[in-house]
Amino acid sequence: MKSEGTTLELALVLPTLNERDNLAPLVERIDAALAGIRWEAIFVDDNSADGTADEIRRLALADPRLRVIQRIGRRGLASAAIEGMCATAAPYVAVMDADHQHDPALLPAMLEAVRGGACDIAVASRFIEGGNAQGLSSERREAGSNLANRLARRLTGVDLTDPMSGFFLTGAARVRSLAPALSGIGFKVLLDILAASRPPLRVREFPLQLAERRAGTSKLDRAIAFEFLIGLYERSVGRFIPVRFALFGTVGAVGVVVHFAVVALLFQLLGSGFAVAQTAATLTAMTFNFWLNNFLTYRDRQLRGPLNLLRGWAGFCATCAVGAFANIAAATYLQASGFHWALSVAAGILLGSVWNYALSSKFVWGRFG
């Protein structure tokens, strides 16, 4: 039997995307912070273009506590965190960023709180006394994070100041038991864990002085405030339909409003011909839907760069065109077969939506699901 001090206690899970220059100094900080604690660090890398995975392998040759899961064809911070947390034998797991914004010096106190039974999950908070969010890149981003926090508290039923934190520690067995119920979509896995847990978890917060990113650029964007929407859909309709499909349908509904607004503007107010107005409205709505789906529904697989965006937009328009044909054909056939016109229309819309969602997921944003 191994003596105390040689038993693995804590696994750090660090999702990475283009963090090569941050790695070596971060490992030094972790090693200093966790003196006397047996730990390992699992870097879950989404096939970074800057060679992050190879740099981790290089460091691991000299330090076997480090390992990397290089994901090919899979992306997203939440899913990376879940995959990493389920890949360790350590009894406790912590998730933190690899960009030096999260201070590893908090880890011993967080571990002691969970290990000693003071709480089920320890969360590093930017918004309690002693913490701050000065490391956020802009006032707009900080305001968006504050809004998301207020909404998230309503979703989870847990009263804490920073449910959108990306730095937390809990028991590995708890995460494994909750894993099948987690959506793995978006950036905030803590929100997912809190919302999925019944009864609610006991939480203790620790003040986090959010630092500036040491190198590279942030992978968060202004869509952070939509995380609560993903969680809300997961908890309300996720048992019946995929969360992405619910988001895709919501975007489509907003696109219908955009379509009608453009037709009203061009046809009713400016006197354009109906065909011209309808064509312009269709292109505008499809472009709007593509942009919002790329920004929200598929933000963990977001297309970037002019060429990728142009190709994605063209593929999305082609998919929607075929979906529209399927919609009309199905609705017309059902109505001619004696079904009530309203049911025929609803069936056509459903068929077109499923078609557009399935093909867009596969051919525009990479794969089904």
Please give the pLDDT value at position 11.
Answer: 98
Please give the pLDDT value at position 357.
Answer: 87
Angle, nearest 10°, between helix axes 139-156 and 227-236?
20
By 3-state DSSP, what share of the chain in percent is helix, strand and coil, each rounded to 5?
55, 10, 35
Whole-model pTM: value is 0.70
Residue with the bigger pLDDT between 36 and 134: it is: 36
> Over the stretch 292-316, which tens digit does the pLDDT of each residue have?
998 888 876 788 889 989 999 999 9
41 in Cβ contact with 30 (< 8 Å): yes
Please give the pLDDT value at position 28.
Answer: 97
How far apart are the C-alpha atoms of 240 and 293, rounded to whole Å?
A: 21
Percent of the chain's residues with pLDDT above 90: 36
Instruction: Give the H/E segment covering residue 123.
Output: strand 121-125
Other beta carbons within 10 Å of 8: 16
pLDDT for 174 beyond 90: yes
pLDDT for 21 beyond 80: yes
pLDDT for 144 beyond 60: no
Looking at mean pLDDT, say which of 97-111, 128-142, 310-324 comes out highest.
97-111
Please choose, from the candidates 170, 205, 27, the residue with its C-alpha nearest in 3D space to the C-alpha of residue 85.
170
Report the SS3 class of residue 326.
helix
pLDDT for 272 beyond 50: yes
Q: Which residue has the tokens 């499809």?
A: 286
pLDDT for 136 beyond 70: no
Eight-state DSSP code of residue 209? B
The helices-and-strands tally (H runs, E runs) of the chain is 12, 7
